[in-house]
Amino acid sequence: MGVNKERMLAGDWYVPDDEELAADTRRRTELCAAFNAEPPAEERRRILAELLGSLGADVGIRPPFRCDFGYHITIGDRTFVNFGAVFLDAAPITLGADVQIGPNVQLLTPTHELDPARRRAGWERALPVTIGDNVWLGGGVIVCPGVTIGPDTVVGAGSVVTRDLPAGVLAVGNPARVVRELG
């Protein structure tokens, strides 16, 4: 394993301009293109099983679907991902069981250097995103690097989640804030 890939997987700063990561990107590009061509359901399932790190039973993902690598994504049973999802998985993205993902949701693990010279040189790092069981993310939600959303939480459409959210709440806004407990 190359140094940049090791650093990426460890959550350290790395430069993604690396032949090993480029090969992983080519693999992802081919698999996403095949999936997004909307083959029959059995073929879509086979492609997702090859693309993703783990795919639960009865998972539904509607194309188009985009990701960075695919193999850092774990999706639990009975989870549904609507059209236009973007999962940037330079770090692990974990979705629990029975999660509902609205259209055009973005789950983002990469973050970039604030120092201008290091940013210009291409330094980035990635922090995991974790979505608990039975979470609902409304259309257009953006989940930022390093965020965990607790089970049974609902995030309103268009919200930007910049911090962890506890279990069983409704959160809305930019940045998303808890407006009430659920249940």
Catalytic residues: 112
Beta strands in the chain (DSSP E): 54-55, 60-61, 65-67, 73-75, 80-81, 85-88, 93-95, 100-101, 106-108, 110-112, 124-126, 129-131, 136-137, 142-143, 148-149, 154-155, 160-161, 169-172, 177-181
- Is the bond preceding residue 64 a cis peptide, omega within 30 degrees? yes
CA distance 133 to 151: 5
Radius of gyration of the chain (CA): 16
Q: Nearest Cα to 79, choosing from 43, 54, 104?
A: 54
